[in-house]
Amino acid sequence: MRMRLFLLLSLLALGACASLPSPGASDLKDGAEVTTAGLGNALATPLKDVNVVRDEIPPVLLEAAKGPYARPNPMTCARITALLLPLNGALGPDVDEMKVDTESLGEQGGEAALDAIADFAASAIPYRGWVRKLTGAEKHEKRMRAAIAAGEVRRAYLKGLGEQLKCAPPAAPARRKTPAGK
């Protein structure tokens, strides 16, 4: 019964994504791609809770956790760039590189549906908090969050050094252009 309800809610959520009104067909396509790509991840939530499926911590983040403030050697723009590119690959774009509000309505709807599916899938495990603790999933998630935080600190530190050396992006923060007079 619970499985049928889960499947029904999943289909309704996916159907809702496809029926969202949007300005163009590409928005719906983007939303469907987000939903399709993330559905497996959303449904894997219970498997992550029992530590059967784990997200691996990228080696570059583990390295950053060992020494987020280690100075690059040699201290050159090229070396800073070489250290930053793998961090950007693991963490995604930095705040100076992000585009604001570029998600289409279809993408937003797809992500909301995936969040609902993941929440529902997670609720399928009774005593979830204890299960996560006993299986080691909670400990792994804490290690993952710590590695991400260390990677973000490392990236900011390196960009600060790059700015001090007057390097060009990505070895230094990208400057946003503002309209004249503002």
DSSP 73: S
Q: How far apart are CA 114 and CA 14, in angstroms?
A: 9
Contact predicate 51/136, CB 8 Å: yes
80-106 pLDDT, tens per residue? 999 999 999 999 999 888 776 556 666
DSSP 1: -
Q: How far apart are CA 67 and CA 158, in angstroms?
A: 12
CB count, 10 Å around CB of 117?
Answer: 22
Task: Work out the percent of the chain whose per-residue pLDDT is above 90.
Answer: 39
Does an H or E element contain 160, and which? helix 137-164
Per-residue pLDDT at 158 exceeds 70: yes
Per-residue pLDDT at 182 exceeds 90: no
Domain ranges of the chain: 2-164
Residue that wins the pLDDT comparison between 65 and 102: 65
- Looking at residue 15, its pLDDT comes to 43
The pTM of the full predicted model, rounded to 2 decimals, is 0.60
- Residue 12 binned pLDDT confidence (cut-offs 50, 70, 90): very low
- The predicted model gives 107-132 an average pLDDT of 67
Tell me what the pLDDT averaged over the chain comes to.
74
Two tokens at 49? Answer: 């809770």
